[in-house]
Amino acid sequence: MFPLHRGRRLRTNESIRSLVRETSLSPADFMFPMFVAEGENVQVEIASMPGIFRRSIDLTVKEIRELFDLGIRAVNIYVKVSENLKDNTGLEAWNPNGLMQNAIRAIKAACPEMIVMPDVALDPYSIYGHDGIIADGDVENDSTVDALVKMAVSHAQAGADFVAPSDMMDGRVLRLREGLDAAGFHNVGIMSYSAKYASAFYGPFRDALDSAPVDATEIPKDKKTYQMDYANRIEAIKEALWDVEEGADMVMVKPGIAYLDIVREVKNAVNVPVTVYHVSGEYAMIKAAAERGWLDHDKIMMEQLMCIKRAGASLISTYFAKEAAILLNK
């Protein structure tokens, strides 16, 4: 009689394994984060993120078409803002002819079916590198939220399908929903960065946008007064539930691989899609190890993406989106 149950029967060969596989990946599971720069015919590789570039709008549009042909249906847009346009108010963030607004219009004109989710936060526009307006030595919550509403409405006017607030200010989802609705954009969604941790995994991203907090005594040296403490779990569930109550259509957990317990907890708690951001540091580590021959790049890439999906992700924002889509299409 021993053993009555043999799990290995379902692992005998790839055909059987594929029949009983619980989780699958497709290019439609991915969102590609993209960095937009000023100028024309500009393409600059980010040193700490091999294979990822800051591109001018014309080359961004070309890349968008390639992504869509691969089956990728969503992009998350960030902009590298000129230093002379930065201040402590975020004024450039809602310029109707700003870099972000022009990028959104160009993408939607070239590929209307691509879902565009622009980042909503002030750090690319801030002289201090923080996600909001500095007042009395800290990031001031309510005035920042007012600025974010103007920013989000300008994105909607340019053609964004969703706005993606990554700032972690309190109450901003409700104010964004009210502001979008008041401006007539009832069908523009909100993908909220609900559980965004104060993580060291973001380093290469800040290189890409030159958006790290500046070293000054009168302001916070990091983002820990608004991003979450990575020791906390219950807080993530609370933040996600608040955002859903305030009108978020999707919620996000960020980072990814090191936070899969949080992904599952949030997935179990909310009734909206859960996005997971497989962040720049996680990308860079795989690239660095693969370059040294320590890991098999493609196998590790696909394993991590599958694990993120298995943990509960409905959508994965990942710098591997294009590479993974090419592999899956093969």
Catalytic residue set: 196, 254
- Looking at residue 23, what DSSP letter applies? -
Cβ atoms within 10 A of the Cβ of 230, count?
Answer: 17
Cis peptide leading into 220, omega within 30 of 0?
no
Q: H/E/C letters for each residue in 268-328?
A: HHCCCCEEEEECHHHHHHHHHHHHCCCCCHHHHHHHHHHHHHHHCCCEEEECCHHHHHHHH
Q: What are residue 184's DSSP bridge partners?
A: none
For Cα atoms 291, 297, 302, give the angle at the middle one, nearest 5 degrees.
160
Dihedrals phi, psi of 228, to nearest 5 degrees: -80, 150
How many other CB atoms are there within 10 angstroms of residue 87's CB atom? 14
* Run of H or E residues at 60: helix 57-69
Among 226, 207, 157, 167, CA closest to 191: 167
Residue 99, SS3 per DSSP: helix
Helix axis angle for 99-110 and 141-158, nearest 10°, is 30
3-state DSSP call for residue 263? helix
